[in-house]
Amino acid sequence: MTEQTSPEPPTAAAESVTVDAVTTVTPELVAAVGRLVPQLSSRAAPPTADELTAVAASPGQTLFVSRTASGDRSVVGMLTLVIYRIPTGLRAVIEDVVVDESARGAGAGAALMSAAIGAAREAGAHEVDLTSRPSREAANRLYSRMGFELRDTNVYRYNRS
């Protein structure tokens, strides 16, 4: 997990995309997420329209998508921001960050991260956590540029299988 300090200012490349919070699930969104999820995880099945609708309607989480700013405005990236309260304060966690292979390096990841950090701050969270596999080198460089710092911690997972 990492801790956010201050985001990188938007770059000119980030102007080539826009970021929206998903409020309505369309067939185009389902297809786009279906294209993105396998680029993030070889084990996760893409969500159905009903599952995406549940994500979009769930209090405490926001699914953000980045779209090309011109042309067909196709979805080129996504992330989920989860905000929840625990006894020690308001927590914000970024999950499932992925940018389409064809759009990487054009500012979609930075734009998504900036939107999520802004939403977390607006909600009152002082820190934003995320995890990332070391093999996702470009993503890890982005997180570092955005002000995230590697934490000295252990991450555990219970696998019910």
| pTM of the complete model | 0.87
First to last CA, the chain: 24
3-state helix, strand and coil shares in percent for the chain, rounded to the nearest 5: 35, 25, 40
For the domain with range 2-150, which CATH number is right: 3.40.1350.10, 3.40.630.30, 2.30.30.100, 1.20.970.10?
3.40.630.30
CA dist., res. 105 & res. 110, Å (int): 9
Q: Counting beta carbons within 10 angstroms of the beta carbon of residue 22, is it exposed (0 to 12), middle (13 to 18) or buried (19 or more)?
A: buried
The token duo for 60 is 């405490």
Per-residue pLDDT of the chain (161 residues; tens, 9 = 90+): 433 344 444 444 456 899 999 999 999 999 999 999 999 999 999 999 999 999 999 999 999 999 998 878 899 999 999 999 999 999 999 999 999 999 999 999 999 999 999 999 999 999 999 999 999 999 999 999 999 999 999 989 898 87
Residue spans of the domains in the chain: they are: 2-150
The H or E element that residue 115 is part of is helix 108-123
